[in-house]
């Protein structure tokens, strides 16, 4: 199983990137930029244990798509056939390590791939969500306060476009996960916090920080 992430796929996060020390990014309509998250999936119903990495670890809430069939060079108009389930996930990022990697021109591996850094909630069928006819609203609450909120319609590159682009470069297989990018509002996590993720008004993720 591959876990893939997408960089700066919401205009609001692209706009806040400068304040996060992530530098100037590519033009908003450039091709999407991907990264791998390795074998970092957190086990279901497990708390996230804050790693001692000497870095600030930040949450990035995003919609996650699960690939349902094998595909290579998938045309965008057929991409909807390659996934059935969507949920809310968190791409945890060691921000200081990411800033250092960007400044030195290195890959982001140490910032993005560590134990439990990919979290997914309860899967919902796209039919249940009315997707793609209806945009998917989602939010992340930290200790009961909403920190991130957006809808799928705000993505620069939509789900089908992302699937088509990825499949040009590598074969997608059953069970692969695509984290589709985060909106503005990312922030540091601390021991004792509770992160709760919602799609619409349905809570799909409950994550204590230990």
Digit-coded pLDDT (tens) for 64-107: 999 999 999 999 999 999 999 999 999 999 999 988 888 888 88
Distance from C-alpha of 32 to C-alpha of 37, rounded to nearest angstrom: 16
Instruction: Assign 26 a pLDDT band (cuts: 50, 70, 90).
Output: low
Question: What pLDDT does residue 105 have?
Answer: 86
Instruction: Assign 53 a pLDDT band (cuts: 50, 70, 90).
Output: confident
Encoding tokens for residue 96? 């200081």
Question: What pLDDT does residue 23 have?
Answer: 66
Say if strands 3-6 and 177-179 run parallel, antiparallel, or are unpaired.
Answer: parallel
Say if strands 83-91 and 118-120 run parallel, antiparallel, or are unpaired.
Answer: antiparallel
Residue 17: give its domain's CATH number. Answer: 3.90.850.10
| Cα 176 to Cα 102, 126, 158, 173, 180, distances in angstroms | 27, 16, 17, 6, 13
Number of domains in the chain: 1
Encoding tokens for residue 71? 């595909």
Question: What pLDDT does residue 63 have?
Answer: 98
Structural domain boundaries enclosing 63? 3-208
Give 58's Cβ-side CA count (13 Å radius): 19
Q: Of 50-54, 109-113, 177-181, which has the strongest mean pLDDT?
A: 177-181
Question: What pLDDT does residue 102 have?
Answer: 83
Q: Which of 203, 178, 196 lies closest to 118 in space, CA to CA?
A: 178
Q: Are 16 and 164 in contact (CB under 8 A)?
A: no
Distance from C-alpha of 100 to C-alpha of 96, rounded to nearest angstrom: 6
Instruction: Give me the residues paired with residue 178 across strands.
Output: 4, 65
Q: Which of 194, 190, 152, 174 lies closest to 6 in space, CA to CA?
A: 152
pLDDT, the chain, mean:
93
Question: What pLDDT does residue 159 have?
Answer: 98
| Cα 190 to Cα 49, 58, 59, 75, 143, distances in angstroms | 10, 9, 10, 42, 11
Find the mean pLDDT for residues 190-198: 98
Q: Are 146 and 139 in contact (CB under 8 A)?
A: yes
Find the mean pLDDT for residues 12-20: 79
The model's pTM is 0.94
Q: Is the pLDDT of residue 15 over 90?
A: no
Encoding tokens for residue 105? 């021109």
Give 105-110's long-range contacts (Cβ < 8 A, gap of 24+): 107/35, 108/35, 109/38
């Amino acid at each position: 199983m591959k876990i893939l992430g997408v960089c700066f796929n919401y205009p609001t996060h692209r706009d806040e990137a400068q304040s996060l020390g992530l530098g100037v990014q590519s033009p908003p309509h450039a091709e999407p930029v991907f990264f791998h998250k390795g074998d970092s999936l957190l086990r279901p119903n497990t708390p996230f244990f804050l790693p001692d990495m000497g870095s600030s670890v930040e949450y990035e809430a995003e919609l996650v798509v699960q690939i349902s069939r094998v595909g290579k060079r998938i045309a965008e108009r057929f991409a909807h056939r390659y996934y059935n389930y969507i949920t809310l996930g968190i791409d945890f990022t060691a921000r200081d390590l990411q800033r250092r990697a960007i400044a030195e021109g290195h890959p982001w591996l140490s910032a993005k791939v560590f134990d439990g850094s990919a979290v997914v909630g309860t899967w919902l069928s796209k039919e249940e969500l009315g997707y793609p006819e209806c945009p998917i609203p989602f939010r992340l609450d930290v200790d009961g306060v909403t920190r991130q909120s957006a809808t799928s319609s705000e993505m620069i590159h939509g789900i089908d476009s992302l699937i088509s682009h990825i499949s040009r470069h590598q074969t997608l297989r059953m069970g692969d996960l695509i984290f589709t990018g985060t909106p503005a509002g990312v922030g540091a996590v601390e021991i004792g916090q509770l992160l709760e993720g919602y799609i619409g008004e349905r809570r799909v993720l409950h994550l204590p920080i230990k």
